[in-house]
């Protein structure tokens, strides 16, 4: 069954009103692959700016969401607040939040459930450190992260998984095409065994980790790679080429 190609752009804590507006203008004017689903995740301050000015058909994601609907949680944003503002997706579980802000698997799972219950789509990130890869624990680490979510969420139709090896994020190092495909295939096998055959067939699995317009066409050809979660390159004109890499 064909899964729709998906490309997300994670701006992280980068950009200004001027630069984000320029990125949006470039996307609005570009000829993008009509079969690709495109979502950008600017810093929270620019979410409404992006939603207001982006053309129809390109969605906006928050970079984070809290697991409670409201209350005394200074600095947090709820799924309901995002949904009301026309923000239809959120990133959850990015390694920078897991590592720097110490978000554990249980918290990531709780946030994922809250986001889905609140009507958002979730780009669920998972990935291993260099030490874990060298110890041969890649699949164990990634499936443990995903299992925490599966324990709380039964419907995976609104989840897109992003496999992002931590050692390849912003380092210029990229998993080889074979390494990436191997992990994607293992994730799909895990979905089949631990969630359902339908989830395995339909869930899109993205690759993230120093994706560029140079390596994206080859990665896009792999059977279990259904798109990309792009970091630094999403701030550059080359993001357009990455979006179009499945039709290259």
Dist. CA 118–CA 100, nearest whole Å: 26
Dist. CA 61–CA 37, nearest whole Å: 12
Q: Do the strands 205-207 and 159-163 form a parallel or antiparallel pair, or are they unpaired?
A: parallel
Catalytic member of 37, 59, 128, 164: 164
Give yes or no: 94 in active site: yes
**Exposed e or buried b per residue across 151-161, where buried means at least 16 C-beta atoms within 10 angstroms of its C-beta:** eebeebebbbb
Q: Nearest 5 degrees, angle CA 10-CA 161-CA 63?
A: 30
Structure tokens at 186: 């293992």
Catalytic member of 94, 96, 128, 213: 94
CA dihedral 42, 25, 211, 93 (to 10 degrees): 20
Give yes or no: 84 in active site: no
Instruction: With beta carbons less than 8 A apart as the criterion, state whether 63 and 44 touch.
Output: yes
Give the residue numbers marked as catalytic. 94, 164
């Amino acid at each position: 069954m064909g899964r729709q190609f998906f490309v997300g752009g994670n701006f992280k804590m980068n950009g200004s009103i001027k630069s984000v507006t320029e990125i949006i203008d470039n996307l609005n004017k570009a000829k993008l692959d009509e079969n690709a689903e495109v979502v950008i995740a600017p810093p929270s301050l620019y979410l409404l700016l992006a939603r207001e000015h982006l053309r129809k058909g390109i969605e906006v994601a928050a970079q984070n969401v809290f697991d409670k609907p409201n209350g005394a949680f200074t600095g947090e944003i709820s799924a309901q607040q995002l949904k009301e503002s026309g923000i239809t997706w959120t990133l959850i579980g990015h390694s920078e939040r897991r590592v720097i802000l110490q978000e554990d698997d249980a918290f990531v799972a709780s946030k994922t459930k809250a986001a889905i219950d609140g009507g958002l789509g979730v780009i669920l990130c998972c990935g291993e450190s260099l030490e874990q890869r060298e110890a041969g624990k890649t699949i164990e680490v990634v499936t443990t992260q995903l299992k925490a979510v599966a324990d709380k969420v039964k419907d995976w139709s609104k989840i897109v998984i992003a496999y992002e090896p931590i050692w390849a994020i912003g380092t210029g190092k990229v998993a080889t095409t074979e390494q990436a495909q191997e992990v994607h295939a293992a994730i799909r096998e895990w979905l089949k065994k631990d969630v359902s055959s339908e989830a395995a067939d339909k869930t899109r699995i993205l690759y993230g980790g120093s994706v560029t317009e140079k390596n994206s066409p080859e990665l896009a050809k792999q059977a279990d790679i259904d798109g990309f979660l792009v970091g630094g390159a999403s701030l550059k004109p080359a993001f357009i080429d990455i979006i179009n890499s499945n039709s290259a």
